[in-house]
A and B are shown apart, each in its own frame.
Chain A
Amino acid sequence: AQSVTQLGSHVSVSEGALVLLRCNYSSSVPPYLFWYVQYPNQGLQLLLKYTTGATLVKGINGFEAEFKKSETSFHLTKPSAHMSDAAEYFCAVTRTGANNLFFGTGTRLTVIP
């Protein structure tokens, strides 16, 4: 079975501060991991993904995430928050051969000017 836990349903940061959104996964097989962003009244946009290879993954809009197998984590970071980063962020997991994603409950990021 696979699942994802996102710690913190709401995170607030000041503009220019570090963004850290936490994601821990559970998977009995090597996982594929994803971060998606959802702006109000919109669908999901892929930020980045990890399948195999390099554990530090760079995505769009300056975001990156590091796959840590020993900690079963895939936290999302961005060095400097921008007002346009305010949105809902979802971590998702799947595995090779699977056809569907399992999503966390999401973290709403607020950026304070």
Chain B
Amino acid sequence: DAGVTQSPTHLIKTRGQQVTLRCSPKSGHDTVSWYQQALGQGPQFIFQYYEEEERQRGNFPDRFSGHQFPNYSSELNVNALLLGDSALYLCASSLVRLAGMDTQYFGPGTRLTVL
């Protein structure tokens, strides 16, 4: 049973560029959440996707956008990259619940470096 997978593993971009990160959820999961983990910090919630729509968003600017596909995989897009966007981007998958949040399972992350 494949867990959460993310691609690419590492990425180097320059300021002002755009980047797309990809995530495939754990088999059987239908919900994908994205987190940003800056160096030395805990992960911070960016947004969550379910049924191809954004369900909830954290305190991140509109430069951060996402998409979920019919097969539940997801993309995170960041436009107009800033140096401060350098971080480990984590994808987590779970099953939607009407009440209560199912456990989130994390992928290995994509390390983004902005020069």
Contact = CB atoms under 8 A, between A and B. Distances in A.
Interface of A: 4, 32, 34, 36, 41-46, 49, 51, 90, 92, 94, 96-106
B41 A100 contact: no
Contacts of B103: 34, 46, 49
Nearest to A96: B100
Nearest to B90: A43
Contacts of B107: 43
Nearest to A32: B101
Nearest to A100: B45
22 contacts: A4-B42, A32-B100, A32-B101, A43-B106, A43-B107, A43-B108, A43-B109, A44-B90, A44-B92, A46-B103, A49-B103, A94-B101, A97-B100, A99-B33, A99-B55, A100-B58, A100-B101, A103-B43, A103-B44, A104-B42, A105-B40, A105-B41
B6 to A, nearest CB: 8
Interface residues of B, number: 28
6 closest A-B pairs by CB? A103-B42, A100-B45, A44-B106, A43-B106, A99-B56, A43-B108
Contacts of A45: 106
